[in-house]
Chains A and B, each alone.
Chain A
Amino acid sequence: MRLVVPLQGIVQGRGGLIIGSLIPCALIYFLRLHLKRHRGSLAPARVSSRAESIARPDKSPYYVGLDRVSRDPFDEVDNPVGIIQLGLAENRLCLDLIEEWLCENLNGAMIGHGGDKDHLGIGGIVEYQPLDGLMELKGAMASFMTQVLGRGISFDPSRIVLTAGATPAVEILCFCLADPGNAFIVPAPYYPGFDRDMTWRTGVELIPAHCRSADNFIPSISALDQAFNQARKRGKRVRGILISNPSNPMGKLLPRETIHNLLHFAQEKNIHIISDEIFAGSIHGNEEFVSLAEILDAGEFDKNRVHIVYGLSKDLSLAGFRVGVIYSYNDDVLAAAKKLTRFSSVSAPTQRLLISLLSDTSFIERYLETNRKRIREMYDLFVGGIKELGVKYVESSGGLYCWVDMSGLIRSYSEKGELELWDKLLNVAKVNATPGSACHSIEPGWFRCCFSTLSKDNIPTVIARIRKVAEMR
Chain B
Amino acid sequence: MEFASEKKQELLSKIARSDRHGEHSLYFDGWKAYDKNPFHPTQNPDGVIQMGLAENQLCFDLIEEWIKNNPTASICTSEGVGKFKDVANFQDYHGLLEFRQAVAKFMGMVRRGKAAFDPDRIVMSGGATGASETLMFCLADPGDAFLVPSPYYPAFNRDIRWRTGVQIIPVECHSSNNFHVTLAQMESAYTKAIEANINVKGVILTNPSNPLGITLSRETLTSLLSFTSRNNLHMVCDEIYSASVFNSPAFTSISEVMQETECNPDLVHIIYSLSKDMGLPGLRVGIIYSYNDQVVNCARKMSSFGLVSSQSQHLLASMLSDEVFIEKFLEQSSRRLAKRHSRFVKGLEQDRIHCLEGNAGLFLWMDLRHLMKESTFDAEMKLWRVILEDVKLNVSPGSSFHCPEPGFFRVCFANMDDHTVEVALKRIREFVSKGNENGDDKKLLQKKHRQNLNLRLSFTSRKCDEGLMSPHQRMSPHSPVPHSPLVRART
- Please report A residues at the B interface, Cβ cutoff 8 Å: 37, 39-41, 43-52, 54-55, 70, 90, 92, 95-96, 98-99, 102-103, 106, 109-111, 120, 122-123, 125-131, 135, 158, 164-165, 167-168, 171, 175-180, 182, 196-197, 200-201, 239, 267, 270, 272, 302, 304-305, 313, 317-322, 330-336, 338-340, 342-350, 353
Contacts and interface: CB of A to CB of B under 8 A. Distances in A.
B8 A304 contact: yes
Contact of A106 (B77, B126, B142): B77
B16 interface: yes
Contacts of A98: 84, 88
Provide the main secondary structure of the chain A interface: helix
B114 to A, nearest CB: 24
A49 B476 CA distance: 37
Contacts of A129: 282, 477
Given A45-B267, A110-B76, A347-B284, A120 B129 contact: no
B282 A46 contact: no
Nearest to B291: A45
17 contacts: A40-B267, A50-B141, A52-B294, A95-B88, A98-B84, A99-B85, A102-B81, A164-B309, A165-B91, A165-B304, A177-B12, A332-B11, A343-B126, A344-B126, A345-B284, A347-B312, A348-B284
B282 A51 contact: no
| Shortest beta-carbon contacts, A-B, top 10 | A320-B310, A348-B282, A347-B309, A110-B76, A336-B16, A45-B266, A319-B91, A55-B297, A51-B298, A128-B477
A62 B234 CA distance: 33
Contact of B201 (A46, A178, A196): A46
> Which interface residue of A47, A109, A239, A305 has the most chain B CB atoms within 10 A?
A47
B137 interface: yes
A344 B475 CA distance: 19
Sort chain B's interface into a size bin.
Answer: 35 or more
Contact of A123 (B57, B483, B486): B57
A127 B398 CA distance: 25
A336 to B, nearest CB: 4
A126 B282 contact: yes
Contact of A90 (B3, B89, B292): B89
A47 B475 contact: no
Given A95-B89, A126-B281, A320 B15 contact: no
Given A98-B84, A176-B12, A51 B309 contact: no
A204 B230 CA distance: 36
A128 B489 contact: no
A438 B1 CA distance: 39
Contacts of A344: 126, 130, 305-306
A55 B294 contact: yes
B163 interface: yes
A110 B89 contact: no
Contacts of B140: 48
Given A45-B292, A348-B283, A321 B309 contact: yes
Nearest to A169: B305
A40 B232 contact: yes
A345 B126 contact: yes
Contacts of B229: 40-41
Nearest to B476: A128
B306 A128 contact: no
A165 B304 CA distance: 8
Nearest to B294: A55
A164 B313 CA distance: 14
Contacts of A197: 304-305
Interface in B60-86: 60, 63-64, 67-68, 74-78, 81, 84-85
B232 A45 contact: yes
Given A51-B138, A103-B78, A347-B309, A319 B3 contact: no
Given A40-B229, A44-B266, A175-B163, A350 B311 contact: yes
Nearest to A111: B76
Contacts of B10: 270
A45 B234 contact: yes
A320 B87 contact: yes
Contacts of A336: 12, 15-17, 489
B318 interface: no
Contacts of B144: 48
Interface in B426-485: 466, 475-478, 480, 482-485
B302 interface: yes
B67 A321 contact: no
A167 B63 contact: no
A131 B478 contact: yes
